[in-house]
Every structure is written in C-alpha cells, then in structure tokens.
Structure 1
Amino acid sequence: MKKILVILFIGLNLYSYGQNKITGTITDINNEPLTGVEVYVEKFKKGTATDENGYFELSNIPNSTLKVTAHYMGYKTQVKTVNFTKPEIELNFVLKEFSYQIDEIVISTPFNKLQSENAIKVVSIKLNEIENSGSTTLTEAISSIPGVDMIAKGTGVAKPVIRGLSATNVLMLNNGVKMENFQFSENHPFIVDEFGVDHIEVIKGPASLLYGSDAVGGVINIIKEKPALDGKITGDFNTKYHTNTDGFSLNAGVKGNSNQVNWGIRTGYKNHADYEDGNGDYIPNTRFQEKSLKANIGLRKSFGVFNMYYDFNRPQLGMSVGNVKNFEKGRGIDFWYQDLTSHLISSRNTLFLSDYKVDVNLAYQLNNRKLQTDENTPAFEMVDMDLNTFSYEVKTHFPSTEKTEYVFGLQGSSQTNRNHEAPNHVIPDADVNDISVFGLLQHTFLEKLKTQVGLRYDYRSISSEEETNKEAIDNDYGNISGSLGATYPINDNFLLRANLASAYRTPNIAELTQNGYHGTRFEVGNPDLDTQRSYEADLSFHYHTKQLMIDVSGFYNRINDYIYIAPTSESLDNGDTVYQYSQTDSKLYGGEFIVNYTPIEWLNINTTYSYLIGKEDSGNYLPYIPQNKVRFDVKLQKEKIGKLYNSYFKIGGLLAEDQNNPSIYETETDGYFLLNAGIGTQLKIGDEMINVSIQANNLLNETYIDHLSTLKDLNYNNIGRNIVATIKIPFTIK
C-alpha cells in the first residue's frame, strides 16, 4: 500500500495543472452587496471574505470539480459547484435572509452536501453554542442536542449516549479520525476537548457503512477550526470561570495563511475542584484537570492539499467511589484518579487528478491509561497500559454529473494493547487488525428525489495473550453493512427524509477477556460473544419558513445479540458481586421533536422533546436509557444597542420526566426541572469584537439525580447552581 501511494504521489508531480481563479460578488435579494461573507472551498481548505462591495477572489484553485460555500450569519447558506472550463470562473451568489441557519455543509459524509440533500440526517452544534452553554466538558455541551445524552460520574467523567446507546456503540471522531482510548466502560471518557473546534456533527443512528464497527448507535465528529483567511494571521484568547467548582479554563491560539501554506497552534488548560449539589454538600473526588496542545500545518498545491495535525491531551480525572470520603473539598489530584495521556498525529490529504479526487488519510494514536488507587487498599492496584493504533483510509471520488456522485474507499487499522509493570491487567496484551472496503452512490431522480445507497464489507481479527486468570483468544469476524436512504423536498419549505441501515459491532477485548477487578467492580468477559447486529429505520419531516422551523424525527432500531454487562448471582469471598458480559435481542424506538419560532426579529423561541424506549425481547427494559426530556429557550437578541453588538438575554429550562422503566439492575429515578439563564454581548475595540457572557445553569439550585449518573448508587446528587463567566478576545497580527 505504501509503495502504491508513493508512486501515485510522484506521478502526480509529472503533470502540469492550471492555476485557476474564482471571482464574484455576493448580494442580498435586493441586490445590496454583503460585506464579510465567508467564501470557502472545503476540499481545498481555502477561504476568503467579501469586501465592502460584496466582491471576493480565490486564486490558485486546482483543475477539479469543487464545491464553493457562501456562509453569512442571518442568511441561508448556499453551495455552488465549480467545474473549470477556463482559467477564471465568475461565481455570483444571492443570499436569502433567514432568522436561523437551517442548512449547513455536512463534513461527516463523503459528498459534503447540504443537510437538506443528505439522506443520513446529521445535526450540528457550533462553537459559540458550546461556549455559551455553561458546560464544564464537551460531552455535556453535546448532550443539549435532542436524542443525545450523557452517562456521567460527576462533572469530569462523561460519556455520550445517542438514542440509548453508548460506550463502544458510539464512535467519536477527532477531525475524521476514529478515537481509540479504552472505550469499553462508561467510566472511560473520550480524550478530547472543545478547544480549537469549529463545530460538532452528530449522526444519530447506525453509521457502520461509513465508519465500521462501533458506529451502531451513531457518530460524533469534532470538526477543527478552519484555517485563517488568505493573507491573515489571527488568534484568540479565551477564559472561563465556574462558581460551583471554583473551576477555570484557559485556551489561546494563533493561526496564519499565506498563498499556499496554512498553520496553527493552540494550547489549553482546565482545573476544577469537587462540585457541590443543591444542598451545598460537596461530592468527593469529582475534581479534575486537563492540559492540551494542538498544532497543524497545511500545504496547498495545484495537484493536492496536504495537512498534518498533532493533538495532545492529558486529563487527570478524580473517581468518586464508595471508599473515597475522608478528605476535604479541594482540587489536588492525589489518589483514586485516572491519569490519561493521548497523542494523535494525523495526515489528511486530497489529491486532484482532473475530475477524480483521492483522499489519503493516515493517523497514529498513542494512548496511555493509568489508574492510581488508594495505596491503603492493595486489592486495587494501579493500572498502566498503552493502546497504540495506526489507521489508514483511501477514498476515491469518481467524476460526477449533475445527478450522480459516487465514492469507493478502503479503510483499515492495526492496534496493540500492552500492559506495563502494574499488576492489575484490566485487559491482556492484545492485537486487533481491521480492513474494509465500501462504496456509496448518490443519484437524483425526477429532479428532486435524492437517493443514497451504500455497501461495506469489514474483516476484523482479535488475538490476545494468555494470562494467569485469562485464556488466550484468536477470533475472526466478517461483516456486511448497508444503507439506503432518500430525501425529497415537497416544496421550498417541506422536506421528507427516510433511511434504512444495517450496522454491526464486534465484541471488544474487554468483553471477551476480562476476569478481575475493573475499578471497584469484579468483571468477567465472555469469549463466546457473537457480533452485535443492528437494523434501523429512520423517518423525518422538516418544515421551515423565514420565521418557523418544525422538525420531527422517528426511529426504530432492532438489535440482535445486544452486548451488555450485568450483575450475576455469584459473589466473591469478600462479598463483592460478580458482573459478566451477556447478550440478548433488543429494540430501541422513539424520536425527537423540535420547534424554532422567531415571530419578530429580536425574539426567538426554541423547544425540543426527546422520547425513547429501550427493551429486551424478554420484556425487561435496557440499562442506561435516559429520561425523556423537554428543553426550551426564550432568547431576546439585538444586533446593536449603543456600543454593544449582537447582545442577547435568554432564559430556558430542562424538564426531565420520571424514569419509571429502569432495567432489572437499576432503580426508578424521579424527574426534575432545571432553570437556566444567560446574557452576552460583543464589545468592539478597534476592529475586533470582544465576546463577554454569563451563563447560569440550575439557577434555582435544584437537588436532583439524573438517571444516567453513575453516582446514583452512592446517593450523590448532580451539580447545583453553576454560574459561568466567559471572555473571548480575538486579535489580528496581520
């Protein structure tokens, strides 16, 4: 494979490609020029902004079919396809005013279509929504999306749940790279933060066709911030303070872009003490801290785009367990904590061969996991293991027509888990190798009916070393995934979307091999586990006008051989219960309902409702099914008040219903109501806009326990009132 790529790269340099230019103007429907519109070519990682006359220019563009996006706040995003028949193309846009963005380019699917043209529904949350959420972690911010929730052990250890599925049923991507860091437990969070993020895309439902195993429940793709505009060097400094945890976060970054080279660097730090509940009681050892560093460099040539990224994260996460009680509230990380280190080096490249585009993506991840326990309890020794993953992907976008686009790809990875001197091997030394091929076709019938169909085959081998209490395994799995979907706009305001998908998940090393303590719980694997198979049907209706948007989504997910862990009737000599992995046929069904209404320019009302049922075929309910929830926000906003810009005040809440359908291993959970509020504005200093905001979550200081809190068994409540102050200072060097 490596030789083929080298030969291909050298061959490309033998060709001569034209240096093309795109120029144009962007106006509103009254033919008035729009200043500051972002014009961006996603595949070429190149962008600019319109001047005071609405004029823009993009030079040194390759000979290829490319999509050009025009994005402007308060207007509907437009995408146009450019196919160069001459060196200079004129491309003009007329943008229609809208109260909110209803259509965005989707990065997580191969065709980079607008959401309205995508058969697979993808929901996005932008950086400013994350920053203004008052959340302590990225996962907490994502959980505001209808159908998305989180399993949490306090404020620092949180894991996403998509329509009732979590752990290795949900896949998280860091800029397109599948994250690998011991995802087999609800207490192992993804090692990632919100620093340097542009937006996050969430696929709700099976996505194994695109990403392979672990995408049964859905995908969360963290999209990095875009390069600086041509000829610019810009940066920003951000700080937050949380009253409840006496916590703070800092991050700063700078990025630049010349004619052919773009680069960036960003660093961040978080530090939180133990949180307090609504009664004013602190929850022991929920403290955490995290350091991060991100850097990137990119090169744009007429024959291709080449980008290198480096991500470093070092979280230290306190673990609140039953025997950790005898210390005061604080922030020192001393014992019973996870010490995690993640290095991710990735290379994401696109080669332009006339009408063909070839994506060549490589990545290497090194994850070290240490669990430092209480030195006075020798039964729970420290864990220390490395997970190394090399992954590769080659996707070919074939010449497209106005109606048809198709892509074929090859993906694979090689993974090793190795234990160090620590005596507690949660999982043994093991190797996992994957290889897959897939194809995806999109075709438009009858001018409006956009269809997508795809097929994928995966092969996985898992082998492990024999240990004193663990037998060696050597298992092979072969799986086929498929998807068929369509979107149909009945008119300019009404869109229908439907999708049928089959996905799978192979058992992971922990589920096959565990036989010992994992944290404070004794867990036993099952080497005879079969592949978990999912069949899901999705149907959604989308209606929008300039002032009103209504979105209704429903789904039914049939899962054969659903893998779960549960307590058994067995116990150890010390009385601890033995937990073991098992399988059962199950189903999940439900949906989401969204209404967004802007009756007048300065008022926005948003309401969402998420409903979910998860049951085994036996009639028992599945574990970790979130409470049905209603969220609402009323937002007052004004573009300019004196010297203040884009000012807003919002008040809203979260109403969680009673969870009266727990699994046989859980207890029922009472509902609760949280009142939230926020205020923010921008101050113009010179040419820069300083963002200032204050968010108050759980304003009434409600005492409650969420059904997905893993601290529920210890009778520890969720976090009480938390007021978050945020300042973001952008700056321009050049």
Structure 2
Amino acid sequence: MKTKLLIFFFAFLFLKVNAQSISGRITDAQNNEPLPGVNVYVNELSQGTVSNADGKYVLNHLPKGTFFVTYSFVGYETVTRKVEIQNKSQVINLNIKMKPMVIQGQEVVVTGSFTGTQHENTIAINTLETKDITQVAQPSFMATLKSVPGVSMISKGPGVGTPVIRGLSLSNVLVLNKGIPMANFQFSEDHPYLTQGLGIGRVEIIKGPASLMYGSGAVGGVINLVEEPAAKEGSIEGTANMKFFSNTLGTLSSLELKGNQNGFVWGAGAQINSNADFEQGGKAGTAYNTRFNTHSAELNAGYIKNIGSFRIFYNYNRSKLGMAVPPALELVTKRGRKNDVWYQDLTDHLIISKNKIFLGNLKINADFAFQNNNRKLQGSDLTPVKELVNMTLKTFNYRIKGIYQFTTSTKAFLGFQGMSQTNRNGDAPQHVIPDADLNDFSVFSMARHTFGQAVILEAGLRFDHRHVTVPEHKAGIDNSTTMPRLDRNFNNVSASAGTTIHLNKQLLLRFNLASAFRSPNIAELTQNGMHGDRYEIGDPDLKNQQNLEADLGLHLHTLFTTFDIALFYNYINNYIYLSPTADTLTDGTKIYRYEQTPSYLTGGEAGIHFHPQSADWLHLKLNYTYLYARKNTGGYLPLIPANKLHFEAMVRKNQWKNWRTSFFKISCNYVFKQNHPSEFETATPGYFLLNAAIGTDLKVKNQIVSFSLTASNLLNTRYFDHLSTLKDVGIYNMGRNISLNIRIPFGVKP
C-alpha cells in the first residue's frame, strides 16, 4: 500500500504546468509615493519577492489555482489579496495601496482546515509573529506562548515548560513542528517539547478540538510552529540574534542564513542557549539546580517552481535541564550553569519532507517525517547508577491531503495520515514506560461552501484506528512484578461542523461544534513504578477519552478598534487523569493511579484593542480569561490555570529620521487566586505582575539593527504560579528579569 502511494506521489514531479505571473506597483495610500522594500509573499507556495525603488514587483512561476498574496512593510498595515489564476494566458496586474499602521488586519493562516484569511475560518486562530516572540522576556521559546489569552504553561523552572490550552495539557494538546506532530514522551509535566524556534516564522494556535484535522491528542488544541518563508528569488539573507537575561545570567545566540537561486532554496541556522539557576521573586533566594543548556541546529533545502514546492528540513536539539527535586536540593548549594547532578539529558532529531503539488483546481500536500527522541535522566554519585533512565522513541509520520476547488464557492479535501512508533529502553535501571509499539491510520475529509459574501459553512468527518502492543515485561520495585502482554485496538469516528456569518463588513459571528478523542497513551495503560517522587500505576482497560465542544465567538474589526469574545463548553467522557490513592509503599511513598471519569470545562476569553483616532501613537489592549473545570463525580480537575486579567498600553512611532519603528510598552497581569484545586493540589493565592518594554529599529546606512529591552515582574513580586511544579518544593516563580535583545538582519550578495 505504502509503495503504491509513493509511486503515485513522485509521478507528479514529472508533470508540466503552465506558469503565470503577478505584477504591480505598491504605493503609500496617503501620498501615492512608491514603497520600496515591501515583502510580497504567497503562503502556499513559500514564494516571495520585494518591491524595487519604484514600488514595482513581479511574482513569477505561479501555477493555476487560487492563492493569497500578502504585502507587508514595517509601519504599514499588512494587505492580503485573493488571486485566482484561471488559465495560462491570464495576465494579472495588481496595484496595492498601503495605509500606515493602525490596527493589524487579518492574517493568512495555515493551521485551520483550509489555508485562508482569519475572517474565512470557522475557528479563530491566534498567531504570534517573530517580533512578538522576541519582545517576551522568557529564556525558553515555549514559555513565550503563554502571552496568548487562553494559553498557560506547566513549568518546572524557566527551562521546562509544557503548554496548557483552555485547561487541557500534556497528551491533550498537540504541538506541531512545521505541521508534523512532535513525539516527545508527552505524558508528564516534566517532559518539555524540544524546540528553540530556529527556522520558525510564526506560531499559530487553535484553542479547542482539532482531532478532525490532526487526530488523537488534539482534543484541547493545537500549537503549530510554522516555518519561516523561503528567501526572495536571487537573494541570500541572514539574521543574527543575541539575547541576554539578567535573572538567569542567561545568553541566547543564534545565526540563520537562507538563500534562493532560481527556485533552489536552502537554509541553515544554529543556536546556543545557556542559563544559570534563577532567582526567586521577593528576594526569596536562588532556585538551585534550575539551570539549563541547549544547543540547536536547523538545515533545509528544496525546490520551488510553478508545479509546487518540495522541501526537506532537519532539526537537531540537545538539552540539559536541571531538576529542582529534593535529592538535588540537598547536593546543589551554589549557583551555577553547568549540569552536574539530577538533570534531564534530552536529544531530538527530526527530519521532515514537505511537498506541495499544484494541478489546476487540485492541490496535493504530502508530508513525511522521522523523529528520534532520546530521554536520559542523570542522577548523582549517590544513586545506584548515574544514568537512571534511558528511553528512545522513534516515530515515522505521513500525511497526504488532496484539496479540490469545485467552484469559487465550494472546495473540499480528502486525506489520510498515519504513524508508526516504537519505544525502547536502554540499559538504565528505571523503565518509566515499557518497550512498546504503536501504529495509527486515519482517513479524514472536510468541505467548505461560501454563500455569497456573508456565510461560510464547513463540515467534516474522520475515522481513526490505533493498535498498541506491549510485550510481557518486568515492572514494579526492583522489577519484581511481571506485567502481562498488552495487545489492543482503539477506533474512533470524529465529526465537526462550523460556520462564520459576516453580519456586516466589520462584524462576524463564529460557531463551531466538534467531537474529538484521545486514545490512552502507553504510560496510562502500562505504567507500574516510580516516576519522580511518586509511584504511578496505569490501567490496561482504559477507554478512549472522548469530548464534545461547542464554541461561540464574536469578532468586531473597525479602523481603530478590534473586539473579540469567545465562549466554550467542553464535555469530556472518560477523562483520563492521575489521582492519588490512600495506599502507600512500605517506605511511605504515595501511590497514584490513572482513572477515568466524565468531566467538563467551560469558560472563554474576551479582549479589546483600541487605537484612538486622535492619538495615532497610542495602542490600548485589555483581555480577560476565565476557566472552570470539574469532574461530574465531584471535585476539580488537576492542572487548571487561574483566571487572568491583562492590560497593555503601548506608544508607537512608525518613523522618525533613522529610527524606523520605535515603541514603549507597559503591561500588567492580575492573576486571580485559584481556589478550586484538585485533590492532590493546594490552593494558590492571586498576584499582580508589572512588565515593561522599549525598542526600536535603527537604520544605519542600509543596515537595520533592532534593539529591545524587556522587563518582566518589574516589581520583583514573590508569587506561586498554580501550574508551577516547583511550588511543591517551596520554590517561588522567577523574580525580576530584564532581557536585552539585539537582532541584525542582513543580506549577502550571491
């Protein structure tokens, strides 16, 4: 079967498709002056160019089909135009007038059911651009995502973070690297995703079920790390980035290069991130052994022409993450940077092949990936052996989807995806989870129809099959217990339906109803042994976790104001969670078991962005996040973040002499007390955090240098985040942290 599919796919490489071009002139809408250096980009083709000194541009090698062209320039509103190339003789002239930045307009996103603008999606997708990420004073890449309303982070210090979307986390949230699910032993809050943001252009976040598009694990939402655009035709581009963190004495340095010569594109990047133990808020002292060090690299190469794009990516990440656990806190009494005792030693290799083929009204996406993830836990000279855990997870993924445009109003896709995964334990004595094999196969389809310009309707269906095999193995204390062989199948049917109703040009309403599922992971089915400071026992008879969520959203967009409100209700049948029991081991160690119960989560987010017409330099933002999560049998769900209120005021000057864009921003977060803890958690008091940032883009001759200075927890508040696992050992969250970021984009003449 797989061989036939590969032959079918590669046969398309030899087909010839007529190329087209789009050209035009880009000018300032106020004075009609040409705008040179505007970035012009076609998302689906990963192809772009820049306007010349006269504001003129040309996009060549475009196939037949419908595409979105994006025009972006510093200090101006981003413009998006839908272009339909219908025949080989068609000539498209597209002149663009750009307005100075007021409030950012709708973006083109790729993580939803179909590539399109935000206003066409039946689900709202939050985005974080590179500039947004660099303005967050966090030493690790994943921690920057908690700036999005509805997104939080389970953390064990600044180097270990696991995302939470609307109260769901771990195996309930799917993280994609360039569209590929990351395989990362994601059954525990101590296992962070191994990515540092190299080669990433932006982050797209779906809050809510996305199983229909991505399968098991997307019941809570999806975080997609989208690759950056390829270099402009005939250019070599680069970026040097340096960050310094006062609290962790941290340094982050990266260098990235990319080029494009006659359709052959390539890229390379490397990054080093080194941080010492962090200082707690309120002068509470050093959080010993929270140090972390990572080394990352990224390579890519490909070919982009009128028939499509064919690209290969390789990502490497090596992380050493200190663990502030009781045995380590007895040994580490001096602040340092080097990992010596009690740390995770994690290595990840990821190879991705992303391919897009354009055949008129038919577009084919074919993605293949292989990931090798190795997790080691290093103890100390006081443990029986230094290396306590050594597990290797190997995963092969494939996803092939065909999208057909029936008419200008109707399109649909049909696809299938699968995964083959193996976990193997090395010679280390602790087998947190046993050797196991897992195989997935699924078929999915969705259709969209637009009724005039007012109503968009989507509906889809998906079937999933999973087979799990775990051989007979030893477990328990000193491997004294024989666990029987596990051989199970899990099947599921998912469905979703949604609509976007444009009440007028400025106001739209979204409604989405989706079912989703998650199959029990290997740990939940088979675990029987020590994990951290507790003894955990799985249940081989666990059923699929299934949910049904209803989402309702309202979006208002005027020239000077945007307002969003989103409400949801998520009912989960057979919710899987880890629960303490009354039993203990002979030494008093608590025993926890995986259980299932019907549960529900409800809440929403509301936000407003106001830009006064009389003060074009001022931006005001306010958003509020509310969440309530409970088991039907009584009691509250674990790892549920507290409700939050965020306010931000920013002063922005687009251009003044050699200063291209300058800003000053002050923000504050009020986090309410979390007084609905689960049975093995404690309540957490509320707290207030003050943050500030200042930055500018300075032009020196023809070179742009970006500076920003960001301060988080400016008042050095002493507080516990409810989702910090360091709370259990009495360690407060990070105190005041001032981050200096220097970013230098440059070009190299080929």
Q: Same fold (TM over 0.5)?
A: yes
Corresponding residue to 2:217 among 211, 214, 218: 214
Counterparts of residues 352-501 of structure 1 (less than 5 Å): 352-378=358-384, 382-469=388-475, 470-501=483-514
- The amino acid of 2:701's aligned partner reads G
Going from structure 1 to structure 2, the CA distance change for 1:403 and 1:28 (only over 3 Å counts) comes to farther
Corresponding residue to 2:206 among 194, 203, 206: 203
Q: Provide the secondary structure at the position in 1 that maps to 2:8.
A: helix
Structure 2 residue aligned with 1:551: 564
CA contact (8 A) 2:19 2:88 kept: no
- Quick one: distance in 2 between partners of 1:670 and 1:381? 38
Structure 1 residue aligned with 2:293: 289
Going from structure 1 to structure 2, the CA distance change for 1:34 and 1:714 (only over 3 Å counts) comes to same
Q: Provide the secondary structure at the position in 1 that maps to 2:384.
A: coil
Counterparts of residues 44-83 of structure 1 (less than 5 Å): 44-73=45-74, 74-83=76-85
Going from structure 1 to structure 2, the CA distance change for 1:234 and 1:606 (only over 3 Å counts) comes to same
Q: Provide the secondary structure at the position in 1 that maps to 2:91.
A: strand
Corresponding residue to 1:696 among 711, 720, 735: 711
CA contact (8 A) 2:270 2:297 kept: yes
Q: Provide the secondary structure at the position in 2 that maps to 1:334.
A: coil
| 1:623 CA drift (Å) | 1.0
- Quick one: distance in 2 between partners of 1:597 and 1:301? 42
| 1:355 CA drift (Å) | 2.2
Going from structure 1 to structure 2, the CA distance change for 1:93 and 1:465 (only over 3 Å counts) comes to farther
| 1:662 CA drift (Å) | 1.1
Q: Provide the secondary structure at the position in 1 that maps to 2:419.
A: strand
- Quick one: distance in 2 between partners of 1:13 and 1:605? 50
Going from structure 1 to structure 2, the CA distance change for 1:96 and 1:13 (only over 3 Å counts) comes to closer
Structure 2 residue aligned with 1:16: 16
CA contact (8 A) 1:380 1:520 kept: no
| 1:14 CA drift (Å) | 5.2
More moved, 448-457 vs 380-389: 380-389
Corresponding residue to 1:518 among 531, 535, 539: 531
- The amino acid of 1:12's aligned partner reads F
- The amino acid of 1:522's aligned partner reads Y
- Quick one: distance in 2 between partners of 1:622 and 1:181? 24
CA contact (8 A) 2:284 2:732 kept: no
Structure 2 residue aligned with 1:315: 319
Structure 2 residue aligned with 1:7: 7
CA RMSD of aligned residues (A): 1.6
- The amino acid of 1:623's aligned partner reads P
Structure 2 residue aligned with 1:604: 619
**Are 2:660 and 1:645 aligned?**
yes
Structure 2 residue aligned with 1:686: 701
| 1:96 CA drift (Å) | 5.9
Going from structure 1 to structure 2, the CA distance change for 1:22 and 1:94 (only over 3 Å counts) comes to closer
**Are 2:646 and 1:631 aligned?**
yes
- Quick one: distance in 1 between partners of 2:579 and 2:547? 21
**Are 2:184 and 1:181 aligned?**
yes
- Quick one: distance in 2 between partners of 1:95 and 1:187? 50
Going from structure 1 to structure 2, the CA distance change for 1:488 and 1:589 (only over 3 Å counts) comes to same
Work out the number of aligned pairs and report it.
Answer: 734
Q: Provide the secondary structure at the position in 2 that maps to 1:407.
A: strand
Structure 2 residue aligned with 1:268: 271
1:666-702 C-alpha deviation (Å, 9 max, x unpaired) = 1111001111111111111222210111111111110
- Quick one: distance in 2 between partners of 1:614 and 1:388? 34
Q: Provide the secondary structure at the position in 1 that maps to 2:405.
A: coil
Q: TM-score, normalised by structure 2?
A: 0.95
Q: Provide the secondary structure at the position in 1 that maps to 2:429.
A: coil
Q: Provide the secondary structure at the position in 2 that maps to 1:393.
A: strand
| 1:32 CA drift (Å) | 4.8
Q: Provide the secondary structure at the position in 2 that maps to 1:155.
A: coil
- Quick one: distance in 1 between partners of 2:211 and 2:151? 18
Structure 1 residue aligned with 2:549: 536
- The amino acid of 2:700's aligned partner reads I
CA contact (8 A) 1:22 1:88 kept: no
More moved, 642-651 vs 64-73: 64-73
Counterparts of residues 555-570 of structure 1 (less than 5 Å): 555-570=568-583
Counterparts of residues 141-290 of structure 1 (less than 5 Å): 141-278=144-281, 279-290=283-294
| 1:85 CA drift (Å) | 1.8
- Quick one: distance in 2 between partners of 1:373 and 1:386? 18
- Quick one: distance in 1 between partners of 2:590 and 2:641? 25
More moved, 440-449 vs 310-319: 440-449
CA contact (8 A) 2:26 2:98 kept: no
- Quick one: distance in 2 between partners of 1:620 and 1:177? 36
- Quick one: distance in 1 between partners of 2:328 and 2:718? 22
**Are 2:332 and 1:305 aligned?**
no
Going from structure 1 to structure 2, the CA distance change for 1:484 and 1:706 (only over 3 Å counts) comes to same
| 1:597 CA drift (Å) | 0.9
| 1:524 CA drift (Å) | 0.7
- The amino acid of 1:300's aligned partner reads I
Corresponding residue to 2:520 among 507, 521, 535: 507
% same residue = 44
Structure 2 residue aligned with 1:35: 36
Q: TM-score, normalised by structure 1?
A: 0.97
- Quick one: distance in 1 between partners of 2:458 and 2:522? 34
1:214-272 C-alpha deviation (Å, 9 max, x unpaired) = 00000000011111111110101111111111111000011001121110000001000
- The amino acid of 1:81's aligned partner reads V
- The amino acid of 1:593's aligned partner reads A
| 1:131 CA drift (Å) | 0.3
| 1:363 CA drift (Å) | 0.3
Structure 2 residue aligned with 1:620: 635
CA contact (8 A) 2:461 2:494 kept: yes
- The amino acid of 2:709's aligned partner reads I
| 1:2 CA drift (Å) | 4.1
- Quick one: distance in 2 between partners of 1:350 and 1:42? 12
- Quick one: distance in 1 between partners of 2:602 and 2:125? 18
- The amino acid of 1:461's aligned partner reads H
| 1:77 CA drift (Å) | 2.7
1:595-651 C-alpha deviation (Å, 9 max, x unpaired) = 111112111111111000000112311111111111111111112334322111111
Q: Which runs of 5+ in 1 are unaligned?
A: none
Structure 2 residue aligned with 1:86: 88
Going from structure 1 to structure 2, the CA distance change for 1:93 and 1:624 (only over 3 Å counts) comes to farther
- Quick one: distance in 2 between partners of 1:16 and 1:332? 56
CA contact (8 A) 2:617 2:652 kept: yes
Q: Which runs of 5+ in 2 are unaligned?
A: 476-482
CA contact (8 A) 2:77 2:105 kept: no
CA contact (8 A) 1:484 1:499 kept: yes
Going from structure 1 to structure 2, the CA distance change for 1:91 and 1:589 (only over 3 Å counts) comes to farther
- Quick one: distance in 1 between partners of 2:489 and 2:355? 31
More moved, 436-445 vs 322-331: 322-331
| 1:393 CA drift (Å) | 0.9
Going from structure 1 to structure 2, the CA distance change for 1:264 and 1:379 (only over 3 Å counts) comes to closer
- The amino acid of 1:417's aligned partner reads N
| 1:163 CA drift (Å) | 0.3
Corresponding residue to 1:105 among 98, 105, 108: 108
The runs of at least 4 consecutive aligned structure 1 residues that moved more than 6 Å come to: none
- The amino acid of 1:286's aligned partner reads T
Q: Provide the secondary structure at the position in 2 that maps to 1:141.
A: helix
- The amino acid of 1:103's aligned partner reads Q
| 1:503 CA drift (Å) | 0.2
- The amino acid of 2:611's aligned partner reads T
- Quick one: distance in 2 between partners of 1:91 and 1:135? 44
CA contact (8 A) 1:385 1:419 kept: yes
